[in-house]
Structure 1
Amino acid sequence: MLVIWLGRSFKIHFSEDIKETDLEVVFWNASHNRDFDDAFNINNSIPDVLVLVEDGVYNLEDFKLKYPKYYFHESIRGISIFSKTPLKILDEITSNHKTNIINFEVDGICFYAVDVSASMDVPRSWELSFVNEYIKIKEKTVLLGDFNIPFESKFLTNIKANFNHAFNKKGNGFRETWFWNIPLLSLDHIWVSKDLKILKTEKVNTWKSDHSMLKVFIAN
């Protein structure tokens, strides 16, 4: 069983050259205590697009003053978005059981930021059905977030049919993002539509959250 798990979870890929014109996209579950600056520091740079879920309390106006050339969005549903280029919010929706999705657009690419309810008394089948029904655009699209289910889950079948799993495609090491740098479960995912080219995927471990950070570079 250990050999099977290692074969499925541990990935080795050669990364491709990253150009300045390529898109760096980062996702992080901030565990209710962190903000944009924490994410920038952990990432060691400011990415092109950053999505935080379960972020801490912060003053958005302070970040707008500190980074006047960039774009921010703060949702009352606990999802925050940063972009170096103009950011267009298309829709925000919440399920009856507090699964949250923000649909936005950056540089002609459609994004779905997802935070699936972690409530133990809410069946994952309900919440992933909600997610699957909501994802309408499946070209030039990035789907990223805390899905609260591992890669192997049958509830990801529809997503797997239309998107490539960024870490499976171009990641190195263990795929699992939770918890506290121990590769237990792959709850956080970045999915990229099959018409977009994934150049490199990284998992960044940190003690500032019980979730690792994920980032992907996409040819733009």
Structure 2
Amino acid sequence: MRKFKLIVKACALIAYAFLLIIHFIVKDHYQLLQVFFYAFPLPILIFTGSTVTLLFYRTRTYFVLGICLILALVVYWFSTSYNFSNNTDIPKDASSILFWNAADGWDLPVDVLMESISSMKPDIIGLVEAEYATVEDIDLLSTTFPQYEFRILKGNMLVGVKGRIENVIFKAEERSYHINFIEAQLRNGRISVAITDIFQSPTMDKKKAIETVLQFASQKKTDLIIGDFNTPQESVHFKSFQTEYRSFHEYGQGFTATWPFGIPLLELDQIFAKKNLTPILLKKFYYPESDHGMLVGYIEEQF
């Protein structure tokens, strides 16, 4: 029995060390291993590590080392996934973008959307997984907010702009990605936005999909990329964005995670702005109508 317990403890340590190496070193460089990276975000690793540590409660040295490791992981988690203060004042002439994965029900949460538009008055509105949006919803939104133009797009998306939509181009690959490129005329200028929804399968080649989004956006000189990437913000595949775009990740308040609702687990929904634009704040709002947080990003420049 004692030998069996030693084997269990050894296997637990080896498995946990493997998961830590995947998370901090290997990440999702390799498609065959990316499922471990996606399935074990840092909060899960902290919980798993706590469980492994309890196996050694009779072995003082290992138990203390395990506690120290868990505490270090907690500190690292908060330092990378929590913005402790960002009380930036929003200039009156700042522009704003609202993005939301609105899926978690059998109809479009149009009441929540209208309340958000009324209170935040975003210049750009982008929704994905809005397959239940209807013509009646668009009519209601257009009547309530006549200064906006709303459209249901291919790929189960919805867009609204405080101005006029001039052109929409749809790109898609089955079970990989949907992208809508929108060109619009706003109050003081033109803006181009890519609304993105990447397929959620953890075994899919996310590198190809994410690089395709960036390639298309670069070719079209897109100002903003907003979407549900179904890929953690820590993914190595987002590094290529840094040349031309700036993430709103560092401009948020509180936990940076956007999924699932109520648990700060994964930052799947993101906003990227062209480097000539200056992000100043990212707010998140959570509603029971969706398991994804609603993002509202503010930019210093006025469109």
Q: TM-score, normalised by structure 1?
A: 0.89
Percent pairwise identity? 24
Match of 1:128 among 184, 203, 210: 210
Structure 2 residue ranges without an equivalent (≥5): 1-72
- Runs (4+) of structure 1 exceeding 6 A deviation are none
Q: 1-side partners of 2:294 and 2:216: how far apart?
A: 25
| Paired AA for residue 13 in structure 1 | N
The worse-fitting range, judged by mean Cα deviation, of 102-111 and 2-11 is: 102-111
Q: Is the 8 A contact 1:166 1:201 kept in 2?
A: yes
Q: Give the deviation of 1:179 after TM superposition.
A: 0.2
Q: What is residue 134 of structure 2 aligned with on the other side?
A: 58
Q: Give the deviation of 1:7 after TM superposition.
A: 0.5
Alignment pair present for 1:78 and 2:151: no
Equivalent runs, 1:51-200 vs 2, <5 Å = 51-55=126-130, 56-59=132-135, 60-106=138-184, 107=186, 108-136=190-218, 141-168=223-250, 170-200=251-281
Q: Is the 8 A contact 2:133 2:152 kept in 1?
A: no
Query: Which has the larger Rg?
Result: 2
Q: 2-side partners of 1:139 and 1:195: how far apart?
A: 12
Structure 1 residue ranges without an equivalent (≥5): none
Q: 2-side partners of 1:214 and 1:40: how far apart?
A: 15
Match of 1:23 among 95, 100, 107: 95
RMSD, matched Cα: 2.1
| Paired AA for residue 40 in structure 1 | M
Q: 1-side partners of 2:140 and 2:253: how far apart?
A: 36
Q: What is residue 289 of structure 2 aligned with on the other side?
A: 208
Q: Which has the higher contact order (CA 8 A, sep 6+)?
A: 1
Q: Give the deviation of 1:207 after TM superposition.
A: 1.5
Q: TM-score, normalised by structure 2?
A: 0.66
Q: Give the deviation of 1:172 after TM superposition.
A: 1.3
How many residues are treated as equivalent by the alignment?
A: 218
| Paired AA for residue 117 in structure 1 | F
Q: 2-side partners of 1:47 and 1:17: how far apart?
A: 13
Q: 2-side partners of 1:62 and 1:17: how far apart?
A: 29
